[in-house]
Chains A and B, each alone.
Chain A
Amino acid sequence: MTHASPASREALKAQIQRFLGPPATGQEHVVFVHASPRLPRVIAEMDAERLTKNLPPFSYIVVLQPGYAAQEQLPEGYLPANHAQRLLCIPFDSAFAASHDILQTISGPGIRSVVILADPLRGQDADAHAIIAATAIEKFSTLQQKTTGAPDIHTVVELHSSANRIYLKSLHVDTVVCSGELTENLLAQDCFSPGITEVFDKLLHQTPGAWHFATHAICADGPLGHLLGHTYRQLTEAIIRTHSAPLILCGFTRKFPYDAHAPHLCHLTAKKRGVIHNDKQIDLVVNPGHMSRKAAERGFLLKRGYDKDTVLQDQDRLVFMTGDREAALQCLSQMRLNNIKGT
């Protein structure tokens, strides 16, 4: 990694600021670390999602992999065509050099997320480089949070091998997408439910009105506050009985106080079973019932028991499937549960 001269760094900062425009415009942007043949398709997915919600498309900053100073040097197909106005490529060594000033510039108020793609030019070392980049981003984000109180940067990291997931455990990386693990899981699922991958493809493909999973918090002072105090069963029944409700309730998430021993124990159990890691202090309860209560008794994934009669609490997040998130939230906000049996 070479250090760029102060003059060139200043020039780059100015270029980024010009590209992002003044903060008042409200333009959001996403930063990609490493260009990759997957980048054009990821950008296409994001644009499609923004289009379905009638929102302006993101701007994209691509931090090129080390050794590539300009986008022209990259192999063909690594960057999307026809995105010149909304895409800026910057060299890796300038952005991630010792000082954080470039990072500070690219992570301005409009930053939506940092996506670290596995570098295809690194072969077997791609995961190692992605982890190093994730460490740099998280270190910067933590520092910013402490010094200026800026919000945490949402980070998505792409890994090839699920074995490397463990290295990101100590970092506060929000999402790890592991293509190898997905392949393994889907191949096994397809084995007993042929064609199930089509369902995932449908759930993940961004087209207007396409059904997908979403979450939303229930806050006492929010529009869904009236749902508090009701059980999961009551809410589900109310949704089902609402004719053509644009959502299906699938579960909820609940935060619980930090238990210093829990992650360690959980990790040990997970290691023993060799499949799952859950180091977050959040219980994700999908399809609640006596099976999730049993899972809690085993103390593996869930820390507490939940079933269909669990009462929804403040700060719980509803997990639902919807084809139109805004319509779903509107439906939930207008929902009255008084006429549901047992309410």
Chain B
Amino acid sequence: MHNTLREKLYRLLLPINVQTRNSAGYWLNFGLIGLIVASSLAILLEFRLDIAADATVFQCIDIAVALVFLLEYLARLYAARNRRAFVTEWISILDLVVVISSLTLIAMPFLQLEAWDGLRLIRLQRILSIFRFFRILRLFRYKEIMHLAWVRVRIYWASLLYTFRIPQLLGLFVAFGVVSFAGAWLLYWTECANSAVCQDAPVFDHFGDLGNAYWSTLIMLISGIEDKEPLSIVGRIEAVVILLIGMILIGQLTAQIVSTVLVRFERVGRIRMLPPSTRVFKDHILILGANEHLDNIIRQVWTAFAGRRYIVVVDPNAPNLNITDPKVYALVFALEGHPSDPLVLERAGISRAHRAIVLSDPTIEEPEQQDSRSLMIAVTAQLAGGFDATVDGSQEPPFYTSVQMNQMPGHVAKHVLSRTNFICGTHIAEQLIGQFVLNPQASDIYHHLTQITDETNEIYLIDVPQDLVGKSFQEAQLAFLHCDANDITLIGVVHTNEVDGALQPFIHLGTDANGTDTDAVPRPLRREDQLLVIAYSEATAHLESRHHGERQ
């Protein structure tokens, strides 16, 4: 498909998710969500309030919203890859119902409905009004991004509570309120019980009045200075106790506020600490350990996921980790603790994490020992990830761990940690040096392919699009070549074959993907295969995979 207006419109109107990079689409989606919510609230207001005076305003808003929804529906219909499928989708039917009901209601005064009796007209109006309410269901189209936004709000709130110690401060304020209230009543009762003393006293008993007692107790608690004193002995003892409690509470409160301010100043330029309530964290990236590569890895992950995935760094030195770019580190949290401690990993939400990256421990000098430690952390991470690392075929969603190594581990470690990928930079550097001497220009190509930026390509694994299942590798190459909407070059296939009763992936690069030379006909692509493609972003690669499917 060429990069036409229809294609651009299609991409613009796609419901956004964590991979979306189209900023115009991002804002358009949020605008439409806002419009749906605002118009639904307007309908509610219209029903709840007496709006006779503002009826025109509401009508104007309703007409504008209905027209926007109509335009949106027509645009979606025009841009749809498969219009018949679009029209029959339940969400599109809902869109249409909402638009028609709104427009009919608006147009009713202009329609020739004199023939209808009043009751039928009222019934029609009521039904159409109910259908207007359905517009709130249109939010279902944006469920993914709304969920993400909700998660983000919850994480932001949890972080706010933790950073400003709001629960502790609230606790102190509650304690303060309880003590002042209880103290005032206690003093009031004590003084009233000693009314005989009060009556004989030459002076007026200040605490004999509840309002005065409450005010003076507050003064005693906060400042400790009050020139009005209870007249009875018991009352005076109580006042002393209240004074002492006041000193403790005010001391605590001051210490909490000062400490929060100091910590805030101290942590300027440092990564935010992970709040204790991490249950909201989901599909985040865990970085276990910190070394000189941490900053660049965070940047690369940030670029790869368009800055929309949370990153949690677990390291004993976490409180001292610095921010190098506030924009990149906006969704990065640090957790103090050793990454090999299952409890720490649990706190970091490993069972709900998307991936884990294990970095070498820089405090260990020997490379072999560094690798051993990394392996141990990888084992702990796999076990804490929710399933036994040694058992393949688990029903749990795959949780992959990438481990930085100085030397490639042996086959045993690779077999045991089947969902762990070992990255040995020095090993690849050796191969690169060997190749660059013989093929000097290749260096720029590998440099280009290994970097993650919006302007460079990377190699991605994507599912075989539905319409390419059963086609040859050559046919798939041609399909991608003539698809101008997304730039993708097909370079290989990962076939899944059964070996000793277990399915194993085999990478076939280039025309090797057609099958062996002995094969009479090229091997067709199967649904369970994966395609190796060069693309500008993961979103582009997967988008194309999905779009090929939609054209079916």
Contact = CB atoms under 8 A, between A and B. Distances in A.
Interface of A: 30, 38, 41-42, 44-46, 48-50, 112-113, 115, 117, 154, 156, 158, 161-162, 174-206, 211-215, 233, 236-237, 240-241, 243-248, 250-251, 253, 273-276, 280, 282, 284, 286-292, 295, 298, 300-302, 307-308, 317, 319, 321-323
Contacts of B398: 194
B509 A199 contact: yes
Contacts of A302: 455
Contacts of B9: none
A176 B484 CA distance: 34
A138 B325 CA distance: 35
Contacts of B53: none
A273 B453 contact: yes
B437 A186 contact: no
Pairs A-B, 10 closest by C-beta atoms: A45-B434, A289-B487, A183-B425, A188-B300, A204-B431, A211-B509, A179-B429, A194-B400, A215-B441, A179-B425
A50 B438 CA distance: 9
B216 to A, nearest CB: 62
B25 to A, nearest CB: 15
B3 A290 contact: yes
Given A185-B450, A187-B404, A284-B448, A204 B425 contact: no
Contact of B460 (A175, A193, A206): A193
A45 B432 CA distance: 9
Interface in B223-260: none
Contact of A211 (B357, B430, B510): B510
Given A193-B459, A287-B487, A182 B428 contact: yes
A292 B494 CA distance: 27
B537 to A, nearest CB: 8
Interface in B430-452: 430-446, 448-452
Categorize the interface residue count of chain B. 35 or more
A174 B402 contact: no
B477 interface: yes
Contact of B509 (A44, A203, A319): A203
A203 B422 CA distance: 17
17 contacts: A38-B433, A45-B430, A113-B440, A156-B433, A158-B433, A178-B429, A189-B452, A189-B458, A189-B459, A190-B421, A213-B442, A237-B478, A275-B299, A280-B444, A286-B448, A287-B536, A291-B486
Given A46-B438, A319-B445, A194 B509 contact: no
Nearest to B421: A190
B481 interface: yes
Nearest to A41: B430
Interface in B385-434: 398, 400, 402, 404, 419, 421-434
Given A191-B301, A286-B534, A248 B491 contact: yes
Contacts of A251: 489
B511 A275 contact: no
B305 interface: yes
A341 to B, nearest CB: 10
A321 B429 contact: no
Contacts of A292: 487
Given A162-B296, A177-B433, A248-B510, A196 B459 contact: yes
Given A194-B400, A214-B439, A323 B512 contact: yes
Contacts of A115: 433, 437
B187 interface: no
Contacts of B481: 233, 236-237, 240, 308
A244 B514 contact: yes
Given A204-B428, A291-B486, 7 more contacts: A154-B440, A156-B443, A185-B296, A194-B421, A240-B481, A241-B474, A248-B491
A177 B421 CA distance: 22
B299 A46 contact: no
B432 A177 contact: yes
B456 interface: yes
Contacts of A190: 357, 400, 402, 421, 423
B123 interface: no
Contacts of B285: 191
A188 B535 contact: no
A284 B446 CA distance: 11
Contact of B489 (A161, A191, A248, A273): A248
A206 B428 CA distance: 12
Given A42-B430, A213-B446, A288-B487, A317 B435 contact: no
Given A158-B433, A177-B436, A248-B489, A322 B474 contact: no
Interface in B351-369: 355, 357, 359
B540 interface: yes
B2 to A, nearest CB: 9
B84 interface: no
Contacts of B400: 190, 194
B489 A244 contact: no
A162 B292 CA distance: 10
Contact of B435 (A198, A212, A237, A288): A212
A255 B21 CA distance: 31
B488 A287 contact: yes
A295 B293 contact: no
Given A191-B285, A240-B481, A291-B536, A38 B430 contact: yes
B496 to A, nearest CB: 12
Given A177-B429, A185-B300, A308-B481, A244 B421 contact: no
Contacts of A192: 304-305, 355, 460, 538
B79 interface: no
A226 to B, nearest CB: 21
A186 B443 contact: no
B461 interface: yes
A200 B491 CA distance: 12
B457 interface: yes
A251 B488 CA distance: 11
A246 B511 contact: yes
Contact of B428 (A200, A211, A245, A284): A200
A42 B142 CA distance: 52
B437 A112 contact: yes
Nearest to B431: A204
B505 A175 contact: no
B443 A175 contact: yes
Contacts of B489: 248, 250-251, 286-287
B492 interface: yes
Contacts of B450: 182, 185-186, 189, 200
Q: Tell which of A115, A201, A289 has the most Cβ of chain B within 10 Å.
A: A289
Nearest to A217: B441
A184 B421 contact: no
Contact of B505 (A181, A195, A197, A243): A195
